[in-house]
Copies of this chain bind each other. A is one copy, B any other.
Amino acid sequence: MAESIRMLSKNTVKFIKSLHQKKFRNQEQKFFVEGEKSVLEVLNSDFRVELLVATESFISRHNTQINSSDVQVILATQNQLESLGQYQSNDSALAVVHMKPNRAFAFPEDNFVIGLDDVRDPGNLGTIIRIADWYGIKNLVFSAQTADFYNPKVIQSSMGSFIRVNFFYADLNEVFHQWKVPIYGAFLDGKNVHKMKQIRRGVILMGNESNGIGEDLEKVVTDKVTIPGFGQAESLNVAIATAILCDNFKRLTIE
């Protein structure tokens, strides 16, 4: 049963606004999620939701689900929601959620892991998380300089997929040495991914938007792979390239 509904206080406004900044997210170990669909999904997930700021209409429509979760509910107007978050339009809800601990996972038996070396743009990271979820690649590992998973733009562009993936931040060099699996790195001068033979396991490693995969990390790449171009564009956006590699690799597991 949910506690009684409160009104939005100045302190809560200040607290939620502070979560736009990584520094305060890390200090509090909390982040926020916006919009009807994502808020409902996070309430229904293994994330621990601390606060639900919602309009009267959202509360009455989802009364049962709200009551069955153990969350403090705060009533707000659409205008208040829009000033708290980053959505231009939000007439439903915003949830304050506890981060998960940064814990390494074991390499999966029969699947890929996506590795990101300094992918800095939050929109790219969120899109890559959505792609990973589409292709059933549930595990991702990020270099320390990769965008913050809990950045509101990452959460938004993942379209709810952030709930369904595992991830941790680490020194990729160390992690890859421990894992002892093939590391497929995206380069412009690698092996044509259309010509690859059946594979079932390994890291799909993508580099920074401007500089690609770092020199040190390049040394632990076991297979350089390339998306064949047929035209004149010099490169592809990193999220686009990730999608194409995932599509090719997943095709190879079923051929």
Instruction: List the interface of chain A (C-beta within 8 A of B).
Output: 127, 130-138, 159-161, 164, 194, 227-237, 239-240, 243-244, 247-248, 250-251, 254
Q: Give the chain B neighbours of A230 by CB distance below 8 A.
A: 134-137, 250
Expressed in whole angstroms, the minimum distance between the Cβ of A244 and any Cβ of chain B is: 5
Q: A239-B240, A243-B244 are in contact. Are A229 and B134 (CB under 8 A)?
A: yes
Expressed in whole angstroms, the minimum distance between the Cβ of A166 and any Cβ of chain B is: 13
Other than the given A131-B233, A236-B243, 10 more pairs (CB < 8 A) read A130-B233, A134-B230, A135-B229, A137-B230, A159-B235, A161-B232, A164-B232, A228-B250, A240-B243, A247-B248
Q: How far is the CA of A235 from the CA of B138 in the complex (A)?
A: 16
Specify the chain B residue showing the minimal Cβ separation from A239. Answer: B240
A232/B133 in contact, CB under 8 A? yes
A227/B240 in contact, CB under 8 A? no
A233/B127 in contact, CB under 8 A? no
B233/A159 in contact, CB under 8 A? yes
B164/A240 in contact, CB under 8 A? no
Q: How far is the CA of A234 from the CA of B161 in the complex (A)?
A: 9
Q: Give the chain B neighbours of A228 by CB distance below 8 A.
A: 250
Kindly report how many copies of this chain are found in the complex they form together.
Answer: 2
Expressed in whole angstroms, the minimum distance between the Cβ of A190 and any Cβ of chain B is: 15
Expressed in whole angstroms, the minimum distance between the Cβ of A161 and any Cβ of chain B is: 5
Q: A243-B240, A251-B194 are in contact. Are A231 and B164 (CB under 8 A)?
A: yes
Q: How far is the CA of A251 from the CA of B135 in the complex (A)?
A: 19
Q: A136-B230, A136-B231 are in contact. Are A127 and B161 (CB under 8 A)?
A: no
Q: A194-B251, A243-B243 are in contact. Are A236 and B164 (CB under 8 A)?
A: no
Specify the chain B residue showing the minimal Cβ separation from A127. Answer: B237
Q: Give the chain B neighbours of A136 by CB distance below 8 A.
A: 229-232
Q: How far is the CA of A251 from the CA of B232 in the complex (A)?
A: 17
Q: Give the chain B neighbours of A248 by CB distance below 8 A.
A: 247
Q: How far is the CA of A18 from the CA of B141 in the complex (A)?
A: 45
Q: How far is the CA of A131 from the CA of B232 in the complex (A)?
A: 10
A231/B127 in contact, CB under 8 A? no
Most B CB within 10 A of own CB, among A127, A138, A234, A240: A240
Specify the chain B residue showing the minimal Cβ separation from A255. Answer: B194
Q: Give the chain B neighbours of A135 by CB distance below 8 A.
A: 229-231
Q: Give the chain B neighbours of A132 by CB distance below 8 A.
A: 231
Q: Give the chain B neighbours of A161 by CB distance below 8 A.
A: 232-233
